[in-house]
A and B are shown apart, each in its own frame.
Chain A
Amino acid sequence: MKLTVDHLHITLDRKLILREVNLEAAKGDIVGLVGPNGSGKSTLLRTVYRSLRPADGVVKVGDDDVWELSARTAARRTAAVLQDAGTTTGLTATEIVALGRTPHHGLTGRDGTEDRRAVAEAVDRCGVAPFADRDYATLSGGERQRVLLARALAQRPCLLVLDELTNHLDIRARFELLDLIRSTGITTLAVLHDLDLAARLCDHLVVLHEGEVVAAGPVPDVLTPDILRGVFGVLGRTERDEDGVVRITYAAQPLAVGPHGTAYSQT
């Protein structure tokens, strides 16, 4: 399903967090949300998975405003893998994956055939099987992220929302997770800190800076030296290699990282 964010405004504690944000992800697209810390990325995600009601503007998944849907109906469409760790001791990997069936359940919360099939598929697809019965608390970072992604897939969503899924993972685990996400074909909105990874995973990028979208479009059009310098405060350039992957080369000289708006050393 496609995702449409239209004229979104968010105010928290009278502080404007997001201003006039527009964003679109076509069906099957992977859209990366990048920007420095505090630029409003996670806040934008919260409006999409229906945790934060926008002051103004609309978030549509498919053709429906998510705030017109019930929490359960919205959760059948949108699954999220977030940063909050929660209290996760005592549940096995499979039990965590089964949490993905929560929005599909009736009052008693019994598992039906459909639930078991969805969980088994997700466990299989994300390679959770080898540690399926272990306590989640004993898993490595990469294993945990696989479990959380499997939970999201068990939700059978039309839209995936990912917040820093690959943080703290080694390079192989990162690539494996990215391949996994690509292989699902599900429309995805992903917050990514690592621009190289963003360039590798995403069809489109949206750059947030101080609550506003400052650039959006295909990766090479967005990751320009100007954006790298003006938004991220680093010097660098991008080029597309023979595989079609956009690579960023950062300047080897002292990276003129300073508060936004201060002068950076010349290119």
Chain B
Amino acid sequence: MVLFAVMVVAVSIGAVNIPVADVWRILLHHVTGQGATADPATDQIVWSFRAPRVALAALVGAGLGVAGAVLQTLVSNPLADPIVLGFSYGASLGAVLVITLGGLAGLGVSGAAFVGALAAGALVFALGQRRGRLAPTRLVLAGVTVGYVLLSMTSFVQLLATPTELRTVMFWMLGSVAGAQWDQLPTVTVVVLTSTVVLTLFGRRLNALLAGDESATALGVDVNRLRAVLLVISALLTGTVIAVAGGIGFVGLMIPHLVRLTVGADHRRLLPLTALLGAVYLVVVDLLSRTVNRPNELPLGILTALLGAPFFLWLLRRNKGLDTV
């Protein structure tokens, strides 16, 4: 409900402010085919530009939050998120390669970003394993290192790009939902909703993982297989979301922590609420990004970090529980 209200309000505010009642009428008209719409210009602003944009922001926020929450549990590290584990840089490299060199093996930007995220994830997990068991510190270090390598490769590819391509690359890497279109939404909706539901169904086993690998094994959880499955889902989720919105940081890191501090770490509550809060947060951030400096837009990545970093530092200072993680 809150998410829905925030979304409607977000649609109404922008370079041109449109009364919430009008927004509601236009949305209702398009969804149900009933009732009158507004004048064509307003209708176009609401339905063609703002509505898909706000919807995409919500989906991306939800997806990044859920992926972050799962990864933090997966590697028993409170600092884990798609960026720290190198997924985002893998997606970046894939996307930038396609933008500058054209399609690779029939993959579009989105497909390449997805393959990149999955490949980076597989590499990090391969390097993070020892005797078939996952060493969390090793895993995070592998993620950061792989991330650096991918980032330098991405930078190198950028040098080969033409100025026009470079603009697309810059836009992509800073993260934005400004280009949102209705036809992107079905895939993203399916991936984000399905992943969130499936991961929530894994909630009990994720909880068991909090007890430690050996204890989880003794509780009947096949830890290695669980990690593999969760890795594939997180990479799919991250790849899909980053492909349409670019490299947006901090959502995946801080939203899960905020929810944990409020309702606890039981994944059966944590994951759905993280999805909701992540969605609300990114809708608000996107709203700010197009209003604080209107009519110019700020990339989302800048604002999530500007709002997110102080919060995270405050969290680190405040929470004694983190010492025992």
Which A residues contact B (CB, under 8 angstroms)?
Answer: 12-13, 46, 49-51, 70-76, 78-80, 82-92, 95-96, 99-100, 102-103, 105, 107-109, 135, 137-138, 151, 155, 161
Q: Which one of A46, A109, A138 lies within 8 Å of B214 (CB-CB)? A: A46
Task: Give the complex CA separation of A159 and B88 in angstroms.
Answer: 45
Q: Which one of A49, A76, A86, A135 lies within 8 Å of B210 (CB-CB)? A: A86
**Contact: A109 with B203, CB < 8 Å?**
yes
Task: Give the complex CA separation of A40 and B210 in angstroms.
Answer: 26
Q: Is B32 an interface residue (CB 8 A)?
A: no
Task: Give the complex CA separation of A91 and B78 in angstroms.
Answer: 15
**Contact: A91 with B207, CB < 8 Å?**
yes
Which B residues contact A (CB, under 8 angstroms)?
Answer: 73, 76, 78, 131, 201, 203-205, 207-222, 260, 264-266, 268, 321-322, 324-325
CB distance from B79 to the nearest CB of A (A): 12
Q: In the complex, what residue of chain B is closest to A104 when comparing beta carbons?
A: B220
Task: Give the complex CA separation of A85 and B260 in angstroms.
Answer: 19
Residues of B within 8 A of A138 (CB): 321
**Contact: A82 with B221, CB < 8 Å?**
no
Residues of A within 8 A of B214 (CB): 46, 49, 51, 80, 82-84
CB distance from A71 to the nearest CB of B (A): 5
CB distance from B308 to the nearest CB of A (A): 20
Answer whether A161 and B265 are a contact pair too, CB < 8 Å, given A86-B210, A95-B207: no
**Contact: A102 with B210, CB < 8 Å?**
no
CB distance from A192 to the nearest CB of B (A): 18
Number of A-B contacts (CB under 8 A): 111
- Secondary structure class of chain B's binding surface, majority of residues: helix
**Contact: B325 with A87, CB < 8 Å?**
yes
12 A-B pairs in the complex with CB atoms less than 8 angstroms apart: A49-B218, A50-B217, A75-B220, A85-B212, A86-B76, A86-B216, A87-B76, A89-B325, A102-B204, A102-B207, A151-B211, A155-B219
**Contact: A75 with B265, CB < 8 Å?**
no
Q: Which one of A46, A91, A100 lies within 8 Å of B219 (CB-CB)? A: A100
**Contact: B201 with A75, CB < 8 Å?**
no
CB distance from A69 to the nearest CB of B (A): 10
**Contact: B221 with A71, CB < 8 Å?**
yes
**Contact: B218 with A75, CB < 8 Å?**
yes
**Contact: A88 with B324, CB < 8 Å?**
yes
Q: Which one of B78, B217, B322 lies within 8 Å of A51 (CB-CB)? A: B217
**Contact: A89 with B212, CB < 8 Å?**
no
CB distance from B275 to the nearest CB of A (A): 17
Task: Give the complex CA separation of A51 and B212 in angstroms.
Answer: 12
**Contact: B208 with A102, CB < 8 Å?**
yes
Task: Give the complex CA separation of A79 and B211 in angstroms.
Answer: 13
Residues of B within 8 A of A86 (CB): 76, 209-212, 215-216
**Contact: B218 with A51, CB < 8 Å?**
yes
**Contact: B213 with A71, CB < 8 Å?**
no
Residues of B within 8 A of A74 (CB): 220
**Contact: B211 with A88, CB < 8 Å?**
yes
Q: Which one of A89, A102, A109, A151 lies within 8 Å of B322 (CB-CB)? A: A89
Residues of A within 8 A of B201 (CB): 107-109
Task: Give the complex CA separation of A12 and B187 in angstroms.
Answer: 46
- Given A99-B219, A102-B208, 6 other A-B residues pairs in contact with their CB atoms under 8 A: A51-B218, A71-B221, A79-B218, A84-B215, A89-B321, A135-B321
